Amino acid sequence: MAKIALVSDAAYPWNVGGVETLERVEAEALAKRHEVHFFSFRWRGMGSRFRDGGIMYHTFHEIGKEKFYRHGRRSIREALVFSAVVLRIFRYRFKAIQANQFPILHLPVLKLYCVLSGCKLIIDVHEVWDKEYWTTYVGSFMGTLANAYATMALRLGDRYIANSEVTALGLERLGVQKEKIDLFSPVIDDDIIRSTGNPKQKREVIFAGRLIKEKRLDKWLLVLKSMQSRTRARGVIIGEGPEEDNLASSIRRMGLSGRVELRRFYKSKQELYRRIRESALLLQMSEREGLSMIVLQSIALGTPVLLPDYSPIPDDIKRMCVVGEENELPRIAEKMMRGPKARYIKGAGLIDRFYISKAGNFYEGLFARMGVS
């Protein structure tokens, strides 16, 4: 048994998102064989130090979504605060630290801890941004500085967990040795999927995820509105985030109030999985995406996924989806809703590499390669 730390500025279920959900899965898998400590901001409903699901949580600096985001983007101020509060990890001794790559500013602090203590630093990487993306995100001057800092910080790991082949190649372009990178992303709860049954299919287009501008739910609504001029398709958007109020206003303004259901995240995966399984298709219009947990979950549940051709989702995932030009998506979606769902899912046999049940063995192999016992 080893003493392991996980470091992330947000934690599931107190803040719900794809990465946070994945981190909880990894923490629970590690906690079955190791002593696991999770360092995070203090989200609403969290204590300062408590145990949950076999994981010891250490939280600092109270935060909520209104502080976490500024103008639809992650707050730079709160990223700086997180980097400061992470210094409290120096009170403890760990064999390994697994850190979420974001907010990036904290990685040199963790590396210093590892150099002084002999600990190993694992960086969990979901997206690798280039200079063009950074300058688009925060402006030319700040983007240039952020790109230089991120390149430096992401080279500090002893090992890396990349969620896809595209992410791994991005790390290699930054100068990370290929031998240090492991591909793994346990995003599909195969036990729960097997228990969802076979609900009756609805004429429903679904989306689930964080409600941020990059998800391009404005385009999602336009596709659904165009479909509804010829079909009786309904839509459901499941999620929470800074765009929630704007999205609700758009639904009313576009005359879709009776056709689009906007609801917050379900309390259980089983409820979410059942809703996905009974839907006709999942439409994902995001212009910024890593692996896309919801796309993989939908495919595993037998619900086909429709993507625009600009989607940044990795090619090994895209190959399992239906991809079309943006202006053709309403017509393609209508066609998909008329046929058997299985016809529109390709290579579903490759999906088992994303199953949660494989997490324990993955970490034991990773720790053996790192010499962590």
Could you read off the pLDDT of 288-337 as tens digits, one per residue?
887 788 999 999 999 999 999 999 998 888 999 999 999 999 999 999 99
94 SS3 class: coil
Res 254: pLDDT = 94
Q: Using CA atoms, how far apart are residues 102 and 61, in angstroms rounded to an integer?
A: 17
Which pair of structure tokens corresponds to residue 28? Answer: 């629970």
Residue 353: pLDDT above 80? no
Which pair of structure tokens corresponds to residue 4? Answer: 């392991």
Q: Using CA atoms, how far apart are residues 73 and 213, in angstroms rounded to an integer?
A: 9
The residue that leads in pLDDT, 188 or 123, is 123
Residue 351: pLDDT above 90? no
> pLDDT tens digit string along 142-175?
999 999 999 999 999 999 999 888 899 999 999 9
Res 229: pLDDT = 62
Q: Using CA atoms, how far apart are residues 357 and 362, in angstroms rounded to an integer?
A: 10
Q: What is the mean pLDDT of the chain?
A: 92
Residue 203: pLDDT above 70? yes
pLDDT (average), residues 248-272:
93
Res 230: pLDDT = 65
269 SS3 class: helix
Res 293: pLDDT = 85
Res 69: pLDDT = 85
CB 204 within 8 A of CB 277: no
**CA-based radius of gyration for the chain:** 21
Amino acid present at 27: A
Per DSSP bridges, beta strands 69-70 and 73-74 are antiparallel
> pLDDT tens digit string along 273-282?
999 999 999 9
What burial class does residue 248 get, using C-beta atoms within 10 Å of its C-beta: 0-12 exposed, 13-18 middle, 19+ buried? middle
CB 128 within 8 A of CB 171: yes
Token match 């209104």: residue? 66
Say what percent of the chain tops pLDDT 70: 98
Res 18: pLDDT = 79
In the CATH scheme, what architecture does the domain 190-353 have? Answer: 3-Layer(aba) Sandwich (3.40)
pLDDT (average), residues 330-347:
90
> pLDDT tens digit string along 64-110?
988 998 877 888 899 999 999 999 999 999 999 999 999 999 999 99
CB 147 within 8 A of CB 128: no
The whole model's pTM is what? Answer: 0.75
Res 7: pLDDT = 98
Assigned superfamily of 3-186+355-370: Glycogen Phosphorylase B; (3.40.50.2000)
Residue 342: pLDDT above 70? yes
> CATH 3.40.50.2000: which residues of the chain?
3-186+355-370, 190-353
Residue 257: pLDDT above 70? yes
> pLDDT tens digit string along 39-71?
999 999 999 999 999 999 999 999 998 899 887
pLDDT (average), residues 201-207:
94
